[in-house]
Each structure stands twice: as structure tokens, then as C-alpha cells.
Amino acid sequence: MKKTGIVTKIYIAFIMVFMYAPIAVLIFYSFNKSRSAAWGGFTLDWYFQLFKSTSIMNALTNTLSIAFLASLFATILGTAAAIGISNFKGKSRILIQNASNIPIISPDIVMGVSLMLLFTFLGTILNFEMGYVTVLLSHICFCVPFVVLNVMPRIRRMDQSLYDAALDLGCTPFQAFYKVIIHELMPGIFSGALISFTYSLDDFVITHFTQGARFQNLSTEIYGMLRKKIPPTINALSTLLFIAIIIIMVLINIRDRRAEKRALQKN
């Protein structure tokens, strides 16, 4: 048993090193004074230059605003869709639920090209160009299924009589829905919103096909830099984004642990 435990620990350590070694190298070079791979001394200049770069800051602003709005609208639509799907029965429910999973298993390039053709067709009819709005709509489109996927299990585990009990105790239909149903589904809603935000923040392929000529987010801005040499400021930006995500994940874990302790104390 001890040998098995040691092997498991070594295996987990190997996987962790394999996943995070590239990020550690990126963080290391964000403090490198030299532009080359050789170490040229410690510096924070790349972090200061990062906030002076107009193009990178504009791309970052576009990325964060798209991710926030896409996750917000996708969470609302996905939660409503999950509740609606749960009201179907039998084969109709299975069919609709499987259809909602198609964007998840479909390759990004297929969705990107499909949305590009759709917006190009609509643009000729309605006379508009692809840009911020088309990217936002595209991100909402591929984020909604992830919210549905996270909310549906919470609906299955929820006691269906809670809503009727709230109505019997004097709640209006809206109060029963908000205070009972949404409260019970909140862990799934929160998880879906977080996944939507992460996927939107990370997306490149679909954005590349639907952004048009005037819009740039962070991923497409970095892709454009590949024609030249990527500046070290990108290392600094990636480091800050990684640290921000780590902080968010730690706070979420602390929140979940406290919620579990409160639930155990109540029981």
C-alpha cells in the first residue's frame, strides 16, 4: 500500500510539472531584462510598458468586456433553457438536450466558419459589418450549452415539490421562482458562468472568423504579433492573467469549503 501511495504521488507530481512548467518559464521570462532567451537580469520594465501599450490595453479591454457580457447573457439564456428542457418528457427531452450539446462537441473551426457565413449573409441584407457585436453574439452562442450542461444536473437533484410548497406558504410565482428555484440552482449557475467566462476569455478560432477588420481581442492581437517577434510585454500580461485566475479559483474554493462546513453544521 505504501509503494502504491508513493507511485501515485510521483505520478501526480509529474503531471503537475508537465502542466505548469511552461507557465513557470513564461513567468520567469516576464522578469528577464533581455529580449532574448538568455538571462539579462531582473526587471519590472515589461510590466510598466504593458500598461503603456495602447493596442494591448484596447485588446485586453475588448477581451474582458466580451467575456463578461457573453458569460452574463449566456448564463441567463442557459439557465432558462435548462429549466425549459427539464419540463419536456421522454424522447423530446433527450432530443433537445442532445441538440444543445452539439456546439460543445463540434470543432471550433466549424462553428467559426458557420457563424462567419451567417453574419456575412445577414450583413448583405441588413447592411452591417462584423465587429464587436458579432463576436459577442458568437461567444454567447458557444457559451450557452456549457451553462445548460452545468444547470441540468442541479435540476435533476432538486426536489420538484419545493416550488409548490413555496406557493402554498404565500409566495407569488415570481418569489417562489427567485427564492427557491434559483437558490437551489445557484451552484450550477455559478459554475456555468465561470466556465463561460473562461472559454470566452480563451477563445481564438471563433473570434478570428467573426471579428471583422476593425475589432481585435487579446488572442487575435497576439496572433498578429506572430508575424514579428512577440514582445516580452506579452509574458507580463500572461503572468498577470494567470495570477488573477489563480486568485479567483482560490476564493471560489474557500467559498465552497465554508458552504460545506455550514451545511454539515446545520445537519
pLDDT tens digits, residue range 188-236?
A: 898 889 889 988 988 899 999 999 888 888 888 888 877 777 788 888 8
Given a cut of 70, whether residue 241 has pLDDT beyond it is: yes
Is residue 241 domain-resident? no
> What is the pLDDT, as a whole number, of residue 71?
94
Is residue 9 domain-resident? no
> What is the pLDDT, as a whole number, of residue 72?
95
Distance CA 142, CA 119 (A): 15
pLDDT tens digits, residue range 94-124?
A: 888 888 888 888 888 999 999 999 999 988 8
Q: What is the extent of the structural domain holding 65?
A: 52-231
Distance CA 219, CA 62 (A): 11
Interval 72-97 mean pLDDT? 89
Is residue 185 domain-resident? yes
Measure the CA dihedral 60/63/67/70, to 10°: 140
> What is the pLDDT, as a whole number, of residue 73?
96
Distance CA 6, CA 197 (A): 37
The domain total for the chain is 1
> What is the pLDDT, as a whole number, of residue 209?
92
Is residue 116 domain-resident? yes
What does the radius of gyration of the chain's CA atoms come to, in whole angstroms?
A: 23
Is residue 236 domain-resident? no
Helix (H, G, I), strand (E, B) or coil at 32: strand
Task: Tell me the whole-structure pTM to 2 decimals.
Answer: 0.84
> What is the pLDDT, as a whole number, of residue 266?
67
Helix (H, G, I), strand (E, B) or coil at 42: strand
Is residue 130 domain-resident? yes
Is residue 171 domain-resident? yes
Is residue 113 domain-resident? yes
Q: What is the CATH number of the domain that holds 185?
A: 1.10.3720.10
Distance CA 142, CA 196 (A): 8
Tell me, what amino acid is at 189? I
